[in-house]
């Protein structure tokens, strides 16, 4: 059980609230004759300093990212069209997860913790109604940190005025959950969304489904 009463639930976006971007990676690899898992392996190489990480912290422009990422892919033995890959990443919302956010919001604070890319457009998008469900939205492209950097989680807790031990965090990547757990958060790895929501319900002690 959670060590302290839960005051906040933090959610990842891609792979939790939406279908996984890794599905898009796999589809791109299959369509372009790449070895399965090539893009994930590429992004796991030098994970704090590679093109993907720098783009998520808004350290490079979209054009700079494309050039860097394509060069990294070529050095690893394959050709990747960065623009085509990025255009394929938009995931489908998972309605059960969105309902769970709505139900959590009625009882506790909510936060979205996402590694993302700047679109260069601050206007509304198709996800805007979902983003409005959160008390805080912490985006790597805006704050200059990205998961799993502990500063990212510390910032989120400060923004909600809570201790880490008062939060539950859902993410689909264990590497992102590890520092949150070390800080005292209860963590849920989302591989099976239904099972993850059952686990969340046990931690918060109110219905989320």
**Sequence ranges of the domains in the chain:** 8-19+92-204, 21-87
172, 165 in Cβ contact below 8 A?
no
Q: What is the pLDDT along the chain (209 residues), one digit of tens a residue?
A: 446 799 999 999 999 999 999 999 999 999 999 999 999 999 999 999 999 999 999 999 999 999 999 999 999 999 999 999 998 888 899 999 999 999 999 999 999 999 998 865 554 466 778 999 999 999 999 999 999 999 999 999 999 999 999 999 999 999 999 999 999 999 999 999 999 999 999 999 999 99
Q: What is residue 3's predicted lDDT score, i.e. its pLDDT?
A: 65
117, 146 in Cβ contact below 8 A?
no
Q: What is residue 4's predicted lDDT score, i.e. its pLDDT?
A: 78
Cα separation, 126 vs 103, whole angstroms: 21
> How many residues appear in the chain?
209
pLDDT, tens digit, 9 for 90 and up, residues 64-79: 999 999 999 999 999 9
Q: What kind of fold does domain 8-19+92-204 have according to CATH?
A: Rossmann fold (3.40.50)
Q: What is residue 90's predicted lDDT score, i.e. its pLDDT?
A: 84
Beta bridge partners of 200: none
Return the CA Rg of the chain.
Answer: 17
Tell me which of 2.60.40, 1.10.150, 1.10.3470, 1.10.238 is the CATH number of domain 21-87. 1.10.150
- Check residue 93 and report its DSSP letter: B
Sequence-distant (6+) residues with CB within 8 A of 165 are 3, 4, 183, 184, 185
Q: What is residue 194's predicted lDDT score, i.e. its pLDDT?
A: 97
Tokens representing 104?
């959590």
Which DSSP string corresponds to 87-113? HT-PPPB-HHHHHHHHHHHTTSEEEEE
105, 130 in Cβ contact below 8 A?
no
Q: What is residue 123's predicted lDDT score, i.e. its pLDDT?
A: 46
Q: What is residue 124's predicted lDDT score, i.e. its pLDDT?
A: 44
Q: How many CB atoms lie within 10 A of CB 123?
A: 6
200, 100 in Cβ contact below 8 A?
yes
Cα separation, 96 vs 20, whole angstroms: 15
């Amino acid at each position: 059980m959670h060590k302290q009463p839960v005051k906040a639930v933090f959610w990842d976006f891609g792979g939790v609230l939406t279908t996984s971007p890794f599905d898009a990676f796999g589809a791109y690899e299959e369509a372009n004759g790449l070895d399965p898992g090539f893009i994930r392996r590429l992004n796991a190489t030098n994970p704090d300093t590679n093109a993907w990480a720098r783009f998520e912290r808004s350290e490079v422009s979209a054009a700079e990212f494309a050039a860097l990422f394509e060069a990294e892919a070529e050095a690893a033995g394959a050709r990747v069209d960065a623009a085509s890959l990025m255009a394929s990443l938009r995931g489908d919302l998972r309605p059960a997860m969105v309902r769970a956010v709505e139900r959590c919001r009625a009882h506790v604070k909510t936060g979205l913790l996402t590694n993302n890319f700047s679109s260069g457009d601050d206007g509304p998008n198709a996800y805007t109604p979902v983003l409005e469900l959160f008390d805080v939205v912490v985006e790597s492209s805006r704050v200059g940190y990205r998961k799993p950097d502990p500063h990212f989680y510390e910032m989120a807790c400060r923004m909600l005025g809570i201790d880490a031990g008062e939060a539950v965090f859902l993410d689909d990547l264990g590497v992102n959950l590890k520092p949150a757990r070390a800080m005292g958060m209860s963590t849920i790895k989302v591989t099976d969304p239904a099972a993850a929501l059952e686990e969340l319900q046990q931690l918060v002690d109110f219905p989320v489904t």
